[in-house]
Amino acid sequence: MKIEIDEKNFELMLEYEQIKKRIRLLAIQMNVDFENRIPVFIGVLNGSFIFLADLIKEIHISSEVSFVKVSSYEGDKSSGKIKKEIGLQMSLKNRDVIIVEDIVDSGKTLEYLLEMIKKENPASVHVCTLLFKPESLKVKIDEINYIGFEIADEFVVGYGLDYNGLGRNLRDIYKAVKA
């Protein structure tokens, strides 16, 4: 199936049923890894909100949820400049923190978030990302412990990810068609 968003063409990459199955597996692992602990899941807005909502429904241990908002994208490219729009709203001292990202590509935004969170002296920090582009990674990040899908260096939309603010509401994930 193909779609068009803001004059850019996309084709189906991951169906919602595949995404749901993978989220269930990630949650099972986290339920085991954080048994008898109370982690705080920090969703990175705007892209992670759908993923985090589905993930947290599968988490059966006690946990908390909070959000931060940072941005670096302009259109379909990262600007390289990270802008904090909403900061931490709670203390993370001695807490187990799980940063929930929609996608990790260059890793620059995640590196910025990790520095910000580590200043709070958490007990541990882990990263859960729905999509990971290993070919695009520009910085080494050891905290990426939970990966939904590894994908090629392609621009994607849907399931929370957008193109110029559009397409977040799509159930499936689509990749840009090369011109």
DSSP characters over the chain: -EEEETTEEEEEEE-HHHHHHHHHHHHHHHHHHTTTS--EEEEEETTTHHHHHHHHHT--S--EEEEEEEEEEETTEEEEEEEEEE---S--TT-EEEEEEEEESSSHHHHHHHHHHHTT--SEEEEEEEEE-GGG--S--TTEEEEEEE--S--EEBTTB-BTTB-TT-SSEEEEPP-
Catalytic pick among 54, 105, 162, 172: 105
102: annotated active-site residue: no
Catalytic residue positions, numbered: 105
